[in-house]
Amino acid sequence: MPRPRCYVASPLGFSETTRPWYRDVLLPGLAEVVDPIDPWSLTTEDEIAAAHAAGHEREVALEIGRRNAEAIHGAELLVAQLDGQEADSGTVAELGYAAGRGLRCFGIRSDLRQAGEPGVPLNLQVATFVALSGGTIEASLDALLVRLREDLAD
């Protein structure tokens, strides 16, 4: 049985301190259960550098967003990495877009800080979109993988 395609929404590709966990832990972990779609692989650093050199920053930014939206269209699920004092706005936008398109959305929020209203681990609207999509927000990658295995077995 083919594994569902899963868009991986996260800000982890922006920083050298988080790229290794994304590349070496998150993507391989998800690959045990789903077919991850890695939006960080859809655009090269050379493309971005060439656009900046040519003064086409807006065009490349919109192209990156278009590619990400197209990748979401090709997915059946979305997993969002939601750590931080405030969850990353681009990640939250991808999650909202996916939920609005009817994809089941899941989140990982391992951050110990409370970042939302009482009773939810982060912004109530983000928590609501995840819940309405049929997904959950889990406190660790391990817990998320257990949840995905359970949900996909049904």
Query: Domains of the chain: which residue ranges?
Result: 5-41+75-153
Confidence band for 121, pLDDT divided at 50, 70 and 90: confident
5-41+75-153 is classed CATH 3.40.50.2300: no
| pTM, entire model | 0.94
Helix 57-73 to helix 89-100 angle (10° resolution) is 40
**Angle (nearest 5°) at CA 124 between 119 and 125:** 155
Query: What is the rounded distance in angstroms from the CA atom of residue 12 to the CA atom of residue 146?
Result: 22
Query: What is the rounded distance in angstroms from the CA atom of residue 5 to the CA atom of residue 125?
Result: 25
Q: Please provide the DSSP assignment of 89-129 as one string.
A: HHHHHHHHHHHHTT-EEEEE----S--SSTTSSS-HHHHHH
pLDDT tens for 47-98 read: 999 999 999 999 999 999 999 999 999 999 999 999 998 999 999 999 999 9
